[in-house]
Amino acid sequence: MVKYASDFRLVCPMLNFFRLVSVIEGISYLLILSVTLGWLSRDYVSVLGMGHGVLFVIYIAALFACALWRKWTLLYTLMLFIASLIPFAFIAVEWHLKQTASKQLASK
């Protein structure tokens, strides 16, 4: 029985890493879009673009690692990949993964 919130970090370390990368990558995507919309100066494109590119590669690697580790279906994995291409979808992904992990943790 899990009694403390810190136990969650011990039970699902890979999922927690994926959730963290998902949120950071989603925020970097929004920053890139804010340059496109003119809210941020174009002087930041190279820095933001490089950072977002690295985060996206880490997201994909973490996605496939989690998919293998947690035995996700191909459809579920594909949906999480497509969500990485949609602005603000990282919020729904984070909420869904948190709910899924909480349910799994409660069943143990």
pLDDT in tens, 5-37: 555 555 578 888 999 999 999 999 999 999 989
Question: Number of folded domains in the chain?
Answer: 1
Domain hosting residue 78, numbered range: 13-107
The reply to whether 7 falls in a domain is no
Sequence-ordered list of residues with C-beta below 8 angstroms from that of 34, at least 6 positions apart, any chain: 40
DSSP code of residue 40: S
The reply to whether 2 falls in a domain is no
The reply to whether 53 falls in a domain is yes
pLDDT at 73: 95
The reply to whether 85 falls in a domain is yes
Three-state DSSP state, 42: helix
The reply to whether 4 falls in a domain is no
H helices present in the chain, as ranges: 5-11, 13-36, 45-70, 74-83, 89-107
φ, ψ for residue 85, nearest 5 deg: -95, -5
Q: Model-level pTM greater than 0.85?
A: no
The reply to whether 8 falls in a domain is no
The reply to whether 42 falls in a domain is yes
Task: Pick 108 or 6 by higher pLDDT.
Answer: 108
In this structure, the number of other CB atoms found within 10 A of the CB of residue 34 comes to 13
